[in-house]
Structure 1
Amino acid sequence: GPVLRATRQIPVQRNTGGAAASLDAAERALAQGECVVIFPEGTISPDLDPMPGRTGAARLAQATGVKVTPVGLWGAQRILFKGRKPSWTRGVAESVVVGKPVRVGPEDDAGAATERIMAGIAAAVARARDVYTQHPQAGDDGWWVRTPESAFRHVGHATGTTS
């Protein structure tokens, strides 16, 4: 809509020919000195843990020579979350953690580069969660708790036992 156009959003039509056009538009924006923000998962994780990324951000970094800066967010899920009615309550905190930029060279495999980018994002999200200033109150709806499946995956990643 008008807000997205006013902020020069680049729409992405995943799994279509339009996805390539989105990358082209992002490449042009970077060439003009614009900042391009990409959510490489391509969707909102239902359990709030980062999901495997798609390769678009890595391929864009390869094509332009621009480093990818991983950013972790925590708190926005309390306001707007997939499958939930928005809550416009004032005073909801948001933690933002900026990680170390990731260089993706022309010789790098896009899949491996995506894994490095996502590792940086996962570390930033974990830190954003750790430094979050608000804590659950009695009667809250569980926005801070991992699902059992997510907790299992998280422990598996930490111990290197997931497949």
Structure 2
Amino acid sequence: MESSFHNDVEHQNSNPHFEALLEPLLQTRPWAMLCAVLGLFVSGLMVIFALVLILGMSGALLAGSMFQEPFSGGIAVVMGIVYLIFGVVFALPPYWLYRFAKSIRMADKTRETSDIIDALKYQKSFWKFIGICVLIYLGFVIISLVFVAIAAFISA
């Protein structure tokens, strides 16, 4: 009787459906981690660049000696703020990829379905963000094409 119980417990821990689901995710994990680390690195560089630009140009504006033209330093500060916003916003997808990879590692260790569900939630957030960015990009492309067509029509 004891060995039958032991075999049932082993069978539960080695569910073939769970293993089939986990295997492709485990193969994806290193690539997701690589993209996450590189994305967080680039986002960090953007934030550092933005802070240097904001602080450097703010100091130069306060000193008043670097810029002869009006607003030249102010535009740099605004660009720094825009870079800061983009650096923070674009840190989200790599963060979700990082959490995806960590959840897959945890699922491999614990063999819990809830860890795979967490990983897939992070993956969903990543792809939702990418989809929204693609739609925004396509909107800008369409608007640009309309302006080019109008400009071509007016100049003809």
Question: Taking CA–CA contacts closer than 8 Å with sequence separation of 6 or more, which of the two structures ends up with the larger relative contact order?
Answer: 2
**Is the TM-score greater than 0.5?**
no
Structure that is richer in strand per residue: 1
TM-score between the two structures when normalised by the length of structure 1 = 0.26
TM-score between the two structures when normalised by the length of structure 2 = 0.27
Q: Which has the larger radius of gyration?
A: 2
